[in-house]
Each structure stands twice: as structure tokens, then as C-alpha cells.
A and B are shown apart, each in its own frame.
Chain A
Amino acid sequence: MLHGEFKTPGGKLVQVDLEVCDGRLCHVQVTGDFFLEPEEALETIRSAIEGVPVAEATEDHLAWRIRQALARYGRPVEMLGFSPESIAQAVRRALP
């Protein structure tokens, strides 16, 4: 199990736990002391990271994928104390 943390400047701590399966990010868990409405959007964020090939898991690409997924969520999503970029940073730090 790999673990990465990123403290959002002026905001909250994002923690990511994941593994690498066949060169892709798998068993991803995104947690932290942030605020998110609606709560179900956490699964949308997680799914946007799950399955991404490690070779493509740059900070920009991960943040873009999370943004795209949230834009398609169907209702406005409020993130307080963290951002797609801070989640992407935590993922990067989890990777060797």
C-alpha cells in the first residue's frame, strides 16, 4: 500500500492510499480533513484516479481528470480546503 499526503496551502490535508496493479493506479482511497458537498462526490473523485496508467499520472493530467469528472457530476460540487490540484499532488507523493 502506497501513501501520499499533501497539505493544501491555507487549507486542509489530503491523504491518498493506493496500489499499482499492472502499471495502473488501483485500490485508490482519497481522504482528509476537507469539506465536500455533496458527500457522494468523493466517489467521483476516487473513480477519476482509479485505473490511470502510472506513466500518465502527472499532476496536470490527474487534476484535469478530476475536474472533468466533477464537471459531469450533474450538480454543483463544493470543495472547501482542497482542490483537484492538491489531490493530484498527494497522488504524486504516493508514487515511488
Chain B
Amino acid sequence: MTTVARWRRYRWQLIAGEAFDPAMQMALDEVLTRRVGAGERPPTLRFWEWTAPAVVIGRFQSLRNEVDFEEAERYGITVVRRMTGGGAMLTEPGRVITYSIYAPPELVAGMSFQESYAFLDAWVVDALRALGIEAWYQPINDITSTRGKIGGAAQARRFGAVLHHTTMAYDIDPAKVPRVIRIGREKLSDKGVRSAERRVAPLRQQTDLPRETIQAHLIQTFAERHGLEEGALTADEIEEARELVRTKYGTWEWTAILP
């Protein structure tokens, strides 16, 4: 089956616009993954808006090894843990582009995990290139460019669905990242590769376009290729996510599950 045909088997729904706090973002990802897995909502593309800055660490990362908690507090940055693996990210309102894809597993059937990362972000790479940004996919899970890394993706296969989410830096201060996120000596010493890999090149360094214009272009690209209908979170989904913030994503037990 062709790439286009795989995507076109579904009626994709768009959720965008409303801003949420960091713990709520984590919870919404789980709720929407569950709903798509249970067939209670169509396959969905969600663009995130943040109300507050956050360090988002991966499911399998050590809290103390990854985050300088005191520095984060000093900057007013919330630390949350997401349900997917991968590395820590710094996000700030209006300074990153984040989206999630909630899909049936059949969308990526027959692909290796590694192949599915590139497949699920291909429309983004092409959309950035159409804006004149020399971007490409760097396995396993990075969107990169001639200037440096733009962003990274992470996935989880759970509740009968695939969650794939990606954060791209739009206007993050690269000097701020190592103040709150610890980068191990081992990473830095990896044949010198790591320092190049870690060189973050936010989109703002590569284009004069406002964040909103880039995001609108991404949505338009997805819609043209795969089809996309306007949608919204239901009151029920928001309530379930609030409950998950109370019981999981907003709790110290979860954030420090790997201290």
C-alpha cells in the first residue's frame, strides 16, 4: 500500500487552539490514545498550546539525573513526565510547536518501530522544506537540518493505539536548555558527535515566518495529503484528563517514579 493510501484509510480529526498546563497535556495524550484505541474517537491530530513552561522528561528517564530541579523552580518551570520514552525537552508557551498523532496500529502495520517514526513525521519534514528550511529525518527520532536539530519525536503503543508526538523548537534559547536539563558527560564524549547532535537550531533561526504561520502551513499540508476535519475535545475527554492529572500526571509519585 502506498503511503498516501495508508493515511487516507481514516477520517482524520484536528484538535487545535485551546491551551493547557503541562500536566494536563500529558493527561490529554493518554485520554486521546485510549479513546482512539477503543474506537471512541476518530484518528486524531492535535496541536498543543502551552499555558506555562515545562521540562518534559521521558517515561524511562531518571528525574535527578535529567533535571536540575532547583534551577527549574527558579525559572518557574514545571517538571512533568510523559507516557512515552525518549529524552527531556524544554517547552515554553509560543516558543515550540508540538503535535500528537493518535492512530490505529494498522496505520504503521508491517513497519519497524524505527521506520514508523520517519513515516509519521514525513509530512512535517516536507512541509518545512516547502518553507525553505533544509530539514530531514535523522533516525531514530529527530527532525534535523543543516543548521542543527529542530525537534524530536516519541511514541508509545498502548491501549490499542499508537501515540506519536513531536516537539520542535521555534524560539527556545539554546543556552537555557543545559541550565535545567543535565547532559551527561558520556553524551558529550560520544566521539564528539553528541555536541553536534545537541546543537539545537530553532526554526526562528532559519526563517522569519511567525510560529502561527508555520503551524498553519503544517496543518494545511496534513489536510491536503491525508484529509483533515475540524474537531474538538469533548467535555467528557477534558474531565477524564483532569482526573488523570489528579491521580497520575500531576503527582510526585508519577514524576519521580524513576527518581
Contacts and interface: CB of A to CB of B under 8 A. Distances in A.
Contacts of B83: 39
Contacts of A6: 186
A29 B61 CA distance: 10
B91 to A, nearest CB: 16
A27 B81 CA distance: 22
Interface stretch (B17-25, B152-160, B208-216, B243-251): B152-160
B46 interface: no
Q: Which of A3, A33, A42: most chain B CB closer than 10 A? A: A33
Q: Which of B114, B158, B258: most chain A CB closer than 10 A? A: B258
Contact of A78 (B113, B158, B259): B113
Contacts, number: 70
Interface in A33-55: 33-39, 42
Q: Which of B83, B184, B186: most chain A CB closer than 10 A? A: B186
B85 A35 contact: yes
Interface stretch (A9-17, A18-26, A62-70): A9-17
A33 B186 contact: no
Contacts of B114: 80
Given A5-B184, A13-B184, A37-B156, A32 B60 contact: yes
Interface string B216-259: 00000000000000000000000000000000000000000011
B161 to A, nearest CB: 13
Nearest to A8: B190
* Chain A binding surface SS class: strand
Interface residues of B, number: 29
A13 B187 contact: yes
B100 to A, nearest CB: 16
A15 B182 CA distance: 13
A75 B61 CA distance: 23
Given A17-B62, A42-B60, A80-B113, A35 B86 contact: yes
A35 B155 contact: yes
A36 B60 contact: yes
29 contacts: A5-B184, A5-B185, A5-B186, A6-B186, A7-B186, A7-B187, A11-B140, A13-B186, A15-B62, A15-B65, A15-B184, A17-B62, A29-B258, A31-B60, A31-B61, A31-B62, A31-B65, A32-B60, A32-B61, A33-B58, A33-B60, A33-B85, A35-B60, A35-B113, A35-B155, A36-B59, A37-B158, A39-B83, A42-B60
Interface of A: 3, 5-7, 11-13, 15, 17, 29, 31-39, 42, 78, 80-81
Q: Which 3 pairs, one residue from A and one from B, show the smallest C-beta to C-beta distance?
A: A33-B87, A5-B186, A35-B85
Given A6-B186, A29-B62, 13 more contacts: A5-B187, A17-B65, A31-B62, A31-B65, A32-B60, A32-B61, A33-B61, A33-B85, A34-B85, A37-B157, A39-B156, A39-B158, A80-B85
